[in-house]
Amino acid sequence: MEQGKVLYFPNLAFIPEEKCGVLFSSRLADRKAKNISFNPATGLLKGALAGDHERSRLHKMMDAFAAAALQIILDLCPRYASGLEHARASYRPLEIAGREYTRLKDDKLLHVDAFPSTPTRGRRILRLFSNINPSGRPRIWHIGEPFESLAEKFLPSLGRPISSAAYLLAAVGATRGRRSAYDQLMLRLHNSAKRDAVYQANTPYEEFAFPAGSSWICFTDQVLHAAVAGQYALEQTFYVDVEAMAGPKNSPLRILERMTKRSLS
């Protein structure tokens, strides 16, 4: 996984207590937000257009999923426990195929994850996904070239990070904490890959259909991915300290530092 592979669990199903009915409706999502998010620390749900009845069921499902996802990561990767943040979970009740987004928000385009308002300062973005589609439909991903190859193509055109801009964004509250040089490069890498229509059209990728009732885990800051079709998936995000990894040298932080020959923290 640290080398940029996707761990696939064909029989690891998350089965909500409410198998049908209110949880499986695209009307639950606030269309502007695209996902419903859940903070396991506070229990707060965001982005849901739900009445009290749906909200309490959503809460129950997300809470159970977030706890199960944490347990799976701790069981599979005990070494991460010392540097793990159990961040937000999300529920994705909208069909991806055919939906129109602005180019930078369009996750149907190949990208590595980098969050504009949440700098990681080098920490890894580890995500567990589970396809809970009740009609058995798969979730389709495209998985692209290794991170190093992506970075080699785009790095020369990304420019140098600007620390004054990062301070300003943090000062006005546009980012949760200051973007490091690493965060700035990763955002530019995300944006440049999505904006480059020639790259999107020509770069090789593998298509994989994750069946309903399956789960998968990967470092989405490293795996070049696009989610092109599917409806009703759950996702749990973790942040992992680079030092907690078995091979910190495989992290995008260390890879970009080697390539740019400078410290990016």
**Stretch in the footprint of Fe ion (CB under 5 A) among 76-84, 88-96, 112-120, 257-265:** 112-120
State the DSSP code for 189: H
Closer residue to Fe ion (CB): 16 or 144: 144
Q: Is residue 106 at the binding interface for Fe ion, with CB under 5 A as the rule?
A: no
Instruction: Give bridge partners of residue 240 from the DSSP assignment.
Output: 84, 124
Closest residue to Fe ion, based on beta-carbon distance: 113
Closer residue to Fe ion (CB): 18 or 113: 113
To Fe ion, the closest distance from the beta carbon of 227 in angstroms equals 7
Closer residue to Fe ion (CB): 57 or 190: 190
Single out the residue of 121, 110, 126, 118 nearest to residue 69, CA to CA. 126
**Number of residues binding to Fe ion, judged by CB under 5 A:** 1
161 phi-psi bin (left φ>0, alpha ψ -120 to 50, beta other): beta
Single out the residue of 47, 191, 33 nearest to residue 112, CA to CA. 191
State the DSSP code for 174: S
Distance, C-alpha 98 to centroid of its chain: 20
Closer residue to Fe ion (CB): 86 or 127: 127
Single out the residue of 60, 14, 12 nearest to residue 40, CA to CA. 60
The letter for the amino acid at 248 is: P
Q: Backbone phi, then psi, for 226, in 5-degree steps? A: -145, 135
Closer residue to Fe ion (CB): 63 or 113: 113
* Residue 50 burial by Cβ neighbours in a 10 Å radius (0-12, 13-18, 19+): buried
**Stretch in the footprint of Fe ion (CB under 5 A) among 9-17, 110-118, 206-214, 233-241:** 110-118
**Stretch in the footprint of Fe ion (CB under 5 A) among 74-82, 113-121, 156-164, 165-173:** 113-121
To Fe ion, the closest distance from the beta carbon of 38 in angstroms equals 18
Q: Is residue 113 at the binding interface for Fe ion, with CB under 5 A as the rule?
A: yes
To Fe ion, the closest distance from the beta carbon of 172 in angstroms equals 26
Closer residue to Fe ion (CB): 113 or 196: 113
User: Which residues bind to Fe ion, rule: CB under 5 A?
Assistant: 113
